[in-house]
Amino acid sequence: MPEAAHDLLDLPAPASDTPGLKELVQHGHAVDHLATLEEIHQGFRQLKVDYFAVLRDGRVLGLCARSHIGFILGSRFGFALYSNSTAHTALVENPVVVRASTTPHELLARAFARRGDAFYDDVVLVDDTGSLLGLISTEALVNLQSRLMAGQMERLVHQHDELHHQNLELFRTNHALRQSRGLYQGLFESNALGVAMLDPAGNIQACNRRLAELLNLGEYEAATAALVARVSEAERGAFLQMLKRHERDGVDADGATSREFLLQVPGRGPRRFRVTTGWIPETGQVCACLDDVTGQRAMEQMMARQEKQNLLDTLVGGIAHELNNKLTPVLGFADLLMTQTGEAPTHFAASIRQSALEAAGIIRQLLQLAKPARGQFQRTDLRAVVEESLVMLSFQLRESRCELRASLPSAPVPVRADAAQLKQIVMNLVLNALQAVGARPEPRVVIAVEPYGAAGRIIVADNGPGIAPEHLGRVFDPFFTTKDPDKGTGLGLSICQSLVRQHDGDITAESVPGQGARFTVTLPLDAAPEQSLLLEESPGSQSGPVRTATETRARARVLIVEDEEIVRVLLQELLRRQGACRITLAHNGADGLAALAVADYDLVLSDIRMPVMNGTELYLRARESRPDLARRFVFVTGYPGGTLLEQDIAGWGVPLLAKPFTFERLSEVCRPFLEQAGVGSALG
Q: Which CATH superfamily groups domain 175-292?
A: PAS domain (3.30.450.20)
Q: Do 606 and 592 touch, CB atoms closer than 8 A?
A: yes
Q: Rounded to whole angstroms, how far apart are CA atoms 677 and 671?
A: 10
Q: Go through 586-615 and write b for each residue having 16 or more CB atoms within 10 A of its CB, e for each that does not.
A: bbbbbbbbebbeeeebbbbbbbbbbbebbb
pLDDT in tens, 287-320: 889 999 988 888 887 776 667 666 665 666 666 6
Res. 341 pLDDT band, cuts 50 70 90: low
Question: In the prediction, which pLDDT does 343 show?
Answer: 61
Q: What is the DSSP string of 169-224?
A: HTTTT-HHHHHHHHHHHH--TT-SSEEEEE-TTSBEEEE-HHHHHHHT--HHHHHH
Residues 6+ apart with CB under 8 A from 97: 60, 123, 124, 126
Question: In the prediction, which pLDDT does 312 show?
Answer: 61
DSSP 358: H
* Closest C-alpha among 584, 539, 586 to residue 564: 586
Domain chopping of the chain, boundaries: 3-143, 175-292, 378-541, 548-676
Residues 6+ apart with CB under 8 A from 615: 561, 589, 606, 607, 608, 609, 635, 637
- pLDDT score of 176 more than 70: no
Q: What is the DSSP string of 273-306?
A: EEEEEEEETTTTEEEEEEEE-HHHHHHHHHHHHH
CA 565-571-574 angle, to 5 degrees, is 135
CA 374-377-383 angle, to 5 degrees, is 120
Fold adopted by 3-143: CBS-domain (3.10.580)
Q: Measured in whole angstroms, how far is the alpha carbon of residue 551 from the centre of its chain? A: 54
Q: What is the DSSP string of 99-137?
A: ETTS-HHHHHHHHHT--GGGGGSPEEEE-TTSBEEEEE-
Specify which residues 203 forms β-bridges with.
Answer: 226
Q: Rounded to whole angstroms, how far apart are CA atoms 179 and 172?
A: 12
Q: What is the DSSP string of 571-599?
A: HHHHHHHHS-EEEEEESSHHHHHHHHHH-
Q: Do 524 and 454 touch, CB atoms closer than 8 A?
A: yes
Question: In the prediction, which pLDDT does 337 show?
Answer: 72
- pLDDT score of 453 more than 50: yes
* Closest C-alpha among 595, 541, 630 to residue 354: 541
- Identical fold, 175-292 and 548-676: no
Question: Within 10 Å of residue 182's Cβ, how many Cβ atoms?
Answer: 19
**Residue-averaged pLDDT of the chain:** 80
CA 59-65-69 angle, to 5 degrees, is 115
pLDDT in tens, 15-70: 433 347 888 898 889 999 899 988 898 988 898 899 999 999 889 998 999 888 88
Q: Do 311 and 428 touch, CB atoms closer than 8 A?
A: yes
Q: Rounded to whole angstroms, how far apart are CA atoms 288 and 265?
A: 17
Among 86-95, 152-161, 197-206, 243-252, which is the least confidently predicted range? 243-252
Architecture of 378-541 per CATH?
2-Layer Sandwich (3.30)
Q: Rounded to whole angstroms, how far apart are CA atoms 658 and 640?
A: 9
Question: In the prediction, which pLDDT does 303 show?
Answer: 77
Q: Rounded to whole angstroms, how far apart are CA atoms 282 and 167?
A: 10
DSSP 231: B
**Of 476 and 35, more confident:** 35
Question: In the prediction, which pLDDT does 177 show?
Answer: 66
Q: Measured in whole angstroms, how far is the alpha carbon of residue 438 from the centre of its chain? A: 16
Question: In the prediction, which pLDDT does 345 show?
Answer: 67
What 3 state SS string does 21-60 have?
HHHHCCECCEEECCCEHHHHHHHHHHCCCCEEEEEECCEE
pLDDT in tens, 603-630: 999 998 888 899 999 999 999 988 888 8
Q: Rounded to whole angstroms, how far apart are CA atoms 44 and 67?
A: 10
Question: In the prediction, which pLDDT does 297 show?
Answer: 83
Task: Look up the CATH number of domain 548-676.
Answer: 3.40.50.2300
Residues 6+ apart with CB under 8 A from 348: 333, 336, 337, 340
